[in-house]
Amino acid sequence: MLIEQTPKAFRAFFPSAVWRLPKKEKTVYLTFDDGPVPEATPFVLDTLERYGIKATFFCVGDNVRKYPELFKRIIDAGHQVGNHTFNHLQGFMYSTGKYTKNVEKAGKYIKSSLFRPPHGQFRFRQLLKLRKKYKIVMWDVITRDYNNSLSGDFVLNIVKKYTRNGSIIVFHDSLKAEKNMKYALPKAIEFLIGEGYKFEALTSRSVEKKVELPAFKEELTNKAI
């Protein structure tokens, strides 16, 4: 559970990031990371179209550069997009300056105020800088479809076990996740429909957060990093 659904105590350390959205009606938010790529993204788009679902794609800037026609297809289908850095950088491994420059490079291709850090990794100072321009979107359920040691059924069962009202669910339209995602995604959608859930894409308005990081955390961050 520490992987599939991040504990509430951990989320409390990053209150300005969005992990889950409150909803009176049963609503979930499908998101897809790491694309677009021709091996996986068209399948996702075809599947979403078949079920009449709008989703959110957190795209890698270099993939958008290489496959602009796929990115255009995402936009033309009415889905939302978000920034996932230009080179899929892990925040812990880069300085704030290099990391934010990479995000801005991706921003030249991806016009969105939504941002999700690859691997969920970022330093406090990176978060403090990026949140001035972006709304940081994390997740409530991560399917682990990228893990080839897991089966498609295991991935599907993660969705079944952990999804709840307002869940932001992460699949990946990537080469690594292709096999598990193609198996689990349609079955997960059918399960969620059967459970009475509606699907919505994330928007700047829907992820608006009023809670900000306490000032003392910002002060500690500036001293520690």
Amino acid sitting at position 210: K
Cα(96)–Cα(172) distance, rounded to whole angstroms?
26
In 3D, which of 47, 49, 53, 107 has the Cα closest to residue 82? 107
Three-state SS string across the chain, please? CCCCCCCHHHHCCCCCCECECCCCCCEEEEEEECCCCCCCHHHHHHHHHHHCCCCEEEECHHHHHHCHHHHHHHHHCCCEEEECCCCCCCHHHCCHHHHHHHHHHHHCCCCCCEECCHHHCCCHHHHHHHCCCCEEECCCEECCCCCCCCCHHHHHHHHHHHCCCCEEEEEECCCCCHHHHHHHHHHHHHHHHHCCCEECCCCCCCCCCCCCCCHHHHHHHHHHC
List the catalytic residue out of 34, 79, 172, 173.
172
Cα(76)–Cα(70) distance, rounded to whole angstroms?
10
List the catalytic residue out of 33, 34, 140, 173.
33
Q: Which residues have CB under 8 Å from 24's CB, separation 6+? A: none
Q: Is 33 a catalytic residue?
A: yes
- Please list the active-site residues: 33, 172
